[in-house]
Each structure stands twice: as C-alpha cells, then as structure tokens.
C-alpha cells in the first residue's frame, strides 16, 4: 500500500492548498446526470440519487439547484487510505474554530470542502497544525 501513514509526518507534510473557484453540492437522478454530460470533481451514488461536487459555475450553467457553497482545500501529502486518525485531527481542529467541513478522501489526496467565507481561516488553522508538527511551509 503506497502513501504515508505516520500521523505526525502526515500532518507535518500535509501542505494544505486552497484551490481556485467555488464548489457546490447537488443531487440528481442517474438519468439526468447522463443527459447533462457535465464533469463534476466528485461523484457518489446513493439509493436516493447521485451526489455531485462541482464548480458552482457549472452547476448554475446546467440549471442545477445546489447547497453548501464551499472552497476546496487539498492536502497535498500523499496519504494512505489506511492512515488512522489523520482526518480526525483535522476535522476536530476545524470544529474548534467553528468551521464545518466535508472531507473527501480520494486515491492520492484528501480534500476538504469548507464554507467560502471560512476558507482563509481554515487554511490558517491547518497551517498552524503543520507548524505544531514541526514542519513549516
């Protein structure tokens, strides 16, 4: 299994990066999704329907209703999908700062969706975790 598992190392090396643009969450039927032919950044299938995470511009262009206008922070460290407690530390710290977060773990990286107006604060809080782990940006 590739990817870092050591918690201190993961946090010290996470290099949070704020991505350009605003993202939103939408839900729609599989048929409607096929029809639209849009490219979301994230997709999850539930019994009730498909969830899309995508750029707000794309959602608006397709006339989709959306919730949770957010910024995407990518943790640049290549984390193992089997790492224990990494996201727990991050979500707990963000919670202490009063920031809601929807994390998505993809194959290579973890991505955090945080409210647009809290993005800079979230970045500051994450960078401090990095400093406390003894590594700086």
Partner 1 sequence: MELNSEQLAMLNGEHGSAARKAMEILTALGEIYGAVDMVPVSSVQIAGVSYDNLGEAGLQFLFEMADGGGKARVLTTLNPAGMDVDNWEALGIDPLFAENQKRVIEAFERMGVVTTCTCTPYLSGNLPHYGEHIAWAESSAVCYANSVIGARTNREGGPSALAAALTGFTPRYGMHLDEDRSPTVTVEIAPTPANPSLTEDVRGDGSLRTMWFGALGKAIGEKLQGSEKKQVSYIEGIESASLEELKSFCASLATYGGTALFHMGGITPEAAVMTPPEQTIRVTQAEVESAQRSLGEAPSAKVDFVSLGCPHLSINEIAHLAELLDGKRVVKEFWITTARPTKHIADRMGYTKIIESSGATFAVDTCCVVAPIKGRFHTLATDSAKACYYATGKNNFKTRIMPFDDVVREAVGEGPGN
Residues that bind partner 1 (CB under 8 A): 17-21, 71, 93, 96-99, 117, 119-121, 123-125, 127-128, 131-137
Shortest Å distance, C-beta 137 to partner 1: 7
Q: Specify the residue, 19 or 45, whose C-beta has the smaller distance to partner 1.
A: 19
Q: Specify the residue, 27 or 76, whose C-beta has the smaller distance to partner 1.
A: 76
Shortest Å distance, C-beta 133 to partner 1: 8
What's the per-residue H, E or C state across the chain?
CCCECCHHHHHHCCCEEECCCCEEEEEECHHHHHHHCCCCCEEEEECCEEEEEEEHHHHHHCCCCCEEEEEEEEECCCECCCCCCHHHHHHHHHHHCCCCCEEEECCCCEEEEEEHHHHHHHHHHHHHHHHHCCCCC
Shortest Å distance, C-beta 13 to partner 1: 9
Q: Specify the residue, 84 or 131, whose C-beta has the smaller distance to partner 1.
A: 131
Shortest Å distance, C-beta 116 to partner 1: 10
Which of 94, 119, 116 has the alpha carbon at shortest distance from 22? Answer: 116
């Amino acid at each position: 299994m590739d990817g870092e598992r050591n918690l201190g190392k993961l946090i010290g090396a996470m290099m949070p990066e704020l991505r350009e643009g605003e993202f939103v969450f939408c839900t729609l039927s599989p048929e409607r999704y096929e029809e639209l032919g849009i490219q979301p950044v994230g997709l999850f299938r539930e019994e009730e329907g498909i969830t899309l995470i995508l750029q707000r511009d794309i959602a608006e262009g397709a006339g989709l209703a959306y919730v949770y206008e957010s910024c995407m922070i990518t943790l640049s460290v290549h984390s193992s999908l089997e790492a224990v407690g990494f996201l727990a530390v991050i979500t707990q710290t963000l919670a202490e700062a009063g920031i809601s977060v929807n994390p998505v773990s993809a194959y290579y990286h973890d991505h955090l969706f945080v409210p647009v107006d809290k993005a800079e604060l979230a970045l500051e809080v994450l960078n401090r975790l990095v400093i406390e782990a003894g590594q700086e940006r």
